Structure 1
Amino acid sequence: MAGTFYRVQCADCENEQVVFGKASTTVSCAVCGTTLARPTGGNASIEHEIVETVESR
C-alpha cells in the first residue's frame, strides 16, 4: 500500500498530529476534536496546515 503521511497542525489548539494522506475516515484532532482531514474517495482533503511530510512511499 503506497501513501504519504503528513504532520498536520490544528488551527484551533495548535496540536500536531500525523495523518495518512489517503485516509478513508474523517480524522479529528485528538485534543479538541476539530476535523483535520476528510475522505474524498482518493487522497484525503486536509483542512489545516501541513507542517511536514513524515514518510512518503
Structure 2
Amino acid sequence: MVRVNRENRSKFYTVKCPDCEHEQKIFQKASTTVECLVCGKVLAVPKGGNAEIKAEIIAQNE
C-alpha cells in the first residue's frame, strides 16, 4: 500500500485594514466576502480558488 503524505497547501494571512488599521486573520481561499470586524471595509473577495485580498498582508501563517 502506498501512503501519500498530504501537506496542507492552504494558508491563513494576518492582514491590516487600510481604513482603521485593525489586524485580523483571514483564510487564503475564503469562499465568502471578508469584512473588517471593526469598520466593515471589505478585506477579501472570493475569486474561484484563492480570494482576492484587498488589504495589506502582514504575516503568512500555516
TM over 0.5: yes
Identity of aligned residues (%): 56
Q: Which has the larger radius of gyration?
A: 2
Alignment length (residue pairs): 55
Equivalent position of 2:36 in the other structure: 29
In structure 2, runs of 5+ residues without a counterpart are: 1-7
| Match of residue 3 from structure 1 | 10
The alignment's TM-score, normalised by the length of structure 1, stands at 0.91
Distance 2:44 2:25 in 1: 11
Over the aligned positions, Cα root-mean-square deviation in angstroms equals 1.0
Q: Hey, what does 1:12 align to over in structure 2?
A: 19
1:2 is displaced (CA, Å) by: 3.9
Higher strand share: 1
Higher RCO (C-alpha 8 Å, min separation 6) = 1
